[in-house]
């Protein structure tokens, strides 16, 4: 079905873009055009099998869930945050980082169950809320757009939930990691309808990607 139409793949702009492009180059697609004219939001690779669409990271799961894109590459953070109902056939091994709960150095081991009126600043309110509920804790979530690390010192929150790669930013802001909430890496995601309607094309693509991802994985 639809064999003439290329499969549409949504890529996250930002730090996942370069490793995503490299991945598809390793699979064997010629992305020179995409790299040179990267301002364009939509572009087909020369063989006409894949159409790339670049989107903001948090929008990728939305595009794929709605079927605007058949596939996409998104971090587990945005995938969990949007709660998109998509297939996740592969973890891609790049974009690795962690979402952690961090507290001020002055009170590193505060017992969350004893704290009343706990305020948590985060860019990921849904994930944070879910984690707190699962722990049987209640917290007031303060949703922020960025610079989460500043919130405790500014008096906006008691603790934060944020993404760390090296931990340097936390340290510079007198914060310490208390708990890892989510291990993050880039995932290949697939729309449920596309999976059924274009099963063979998608399976072929997944196995090609799996073949270049697998040898590089540590675990």
Tokens (6 digits) for 105: 């150095």
* Cβ neighbours, 10 Å, residue 38: 14
What Å distances lie between residue 133 and 9, 128, 140, 190, CA to CA?
A: 34, 9, 12, 29
Interface with another protein (CB under 8 A), residue from 105, 199, 204, 216? 199
Interface region with another protein, contact rule CB under 8 A, candidates 24-32, 100-108, 143-151, 196-204: 196-204
Distance between CA atoms of residues 2 and 218, nearest Å: 37
Q: Is 1 in the site for another protein (CB under 8 A)?
A: yes
Pick the closer one to another protein by CB: 90 or 159.
90
Q: Which two tokens stand for residue 68?
A: 């605007």
Q: How far apart are CA 61 and CA 80, in angstroms?
A: 9
> How many whole angstroms separate alpha carbon 11 and alpha carbon 15?
11
* 66 contributes a contact to another protein by CB under 8 A: yes
104 and 84 Cβ atoms separated by less than 8 Å: no
Least distance CB 74 / another protein (angstroms): 13
Nearer to another protein, 41 or 214 (CB): 214
Query: Which x/- pattern, by CB under 8 A, does the window 22-61 give for another protein?
Result: ----------------------------------------
Q: Does 133 bind another protein (CB under 8 A)?
A: no
Binding site for another protein (CB under 8 A): 1-2, 64-68, 86-91, 190-197, 199-200, 203
């Amino acid at each position: 079905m639809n064999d003439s139409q290329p499969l549409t793949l949504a890529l996250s702009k930002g730090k996942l873009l370069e490793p995503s492009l490299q991945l598809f180059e390793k699979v064997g697609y010629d992305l020179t055009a995409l790299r040179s004219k990267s301002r364009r939001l939509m572009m087909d690779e020369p063989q006409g099998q894949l159409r790339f669409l670049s989107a903001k990271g948090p929008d990728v799961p939305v595009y794929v869930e709605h079927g605007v894109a058949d596939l996409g590459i998104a971090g587990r953070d945005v995938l969990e945050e949007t709660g998109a109902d998509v297939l996740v056939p592969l973890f891609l091994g790049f974009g690795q980082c962690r979402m952690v709960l961090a507290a001020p150095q002055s009170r590193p081991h505060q017992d969350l169950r004893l704290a009343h009126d706990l305020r948590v600043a985060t860019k990921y309110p849904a994930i944070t809320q879910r984690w707190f509920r699962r722990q049987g804790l209640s917290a007031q979530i303060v949703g922020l757009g960025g610079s989460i690390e500043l919130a405790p010192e500014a008096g906006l929150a008691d603790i934060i939930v944020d993404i760390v790669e090296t931990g340097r930013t936390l340290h510079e802001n007198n914060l310490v990691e208390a708990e890892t909430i989510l291990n993050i890496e880039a995932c290949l995601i697939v729309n449920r309808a596309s999976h059924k309607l274009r099963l063979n094309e998608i399976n072929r693509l997944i196995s090609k990607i799996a073949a270049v991802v697998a040898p590089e994985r540590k675990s």
